[in-house]
Amino acid sequence: AQSVTQLGSHVSVSEGALVLLRCNYSSSVPPYLFWYVQYPNQGLQLLLKYTTGATLVKGINGFEAEFKKSETSFHLTKPSAHMSDAAEYFCAVSTGGFKTIFGAGTRLFVKA
Amino acid sequence: DAGVTQSPTHLIKTRGQQVTLRCSPKSGHDTVSWYQQALGQGPQFIFQYYEEEERQRGNFPDRFSGHQFPNYSSELNVNALLLGDSALYLCASSLVGQQETQYFGPGTRLLVL
């Protein structure tokens, strides 16, 4: 069975500071991994995904994530936070099938 | 290029009633998945439709049912509504063989009183 754990339901950073959102997964087969962002009263937008190949994945809006199999992690980072990054972020896992499992989400606050 | 659209945007029902939510997939997509997102939680997979058939189902009771039409659009039906069914219902579309790449609609927010 697959599962996702997002460490920290809330993360607060200052504008210009590093953003680090943590995600650990569990999967019995090689996983596909995703990060989505959700702004208030909106659906989910795909930030980036890992399927195969390069373990460092670059996404939209300056975000990137690194797949570390030995640590079963897929943490999301951005070197410099912007006010517009304030949103809810979801890590997700699938095994290329039909079902995607989402974490509980991390709300990112950006302070001016 | 039209993205995923859902209707209605908001809905209020009372316990015991039935509701139908609608989804039109992104142009060119043939697979539709439905998710329930309760307040403060991540989305939970309800089921997926392809070629007008349910391919896989999450841990949801039979009160939740769906349908896919020949034009790939889809409906989610919930019978005998409970207060706990209050949530944001998200539709996601994808292309068969590339199901890992899903595009989400804005959702329908259902409130059950």
pLDDT in tens, B1-40: 679 999 999 999 999 999 999 999 999 999 999 999 999 8
pLDDT of residue B1: 63
Q: Do A43 and B104 touch (CB under 8 A)?
A: yes
- Residue A83 DSSP SS3: helix
Contacts of B45 (CB under 8 A, 6+ apart): A99, A100, A101, B33, B34, B35, B56, B58
Q: What is the identity of the amino acid at B18?
A: Q
Which residues pair with residue B65 across a beta bridge? B77
For residues A31 and A62, the model is more confident at A62
Q: A45: distance to nearest CA of chain B, Å?
A: 7
Amino acid identity of B6?
Q
- Say what the pLDDT of residue A85 is: 96
At residue B107, does pLDDT exceed 90?
Answer: yes
Q: Is the dihedral of CA B50, B54, B56, B60 positive or negative?
A: positive
Most confidently predicted of A25-29, B20-24, B99-103 = B20-24
Instruction: Give percent of chain B above pLDDT 70.
Output: 99
Interface of A with B (CB under 8 A): 4, 32, 34, 36, 41-46, 49, 51, 90, 92, 94, 96-105
Mutate to test the interface with A, among B31, B50, B100 (most CBs of A within 10 A): B100
pLDDT at residue A101 tops 80: yes
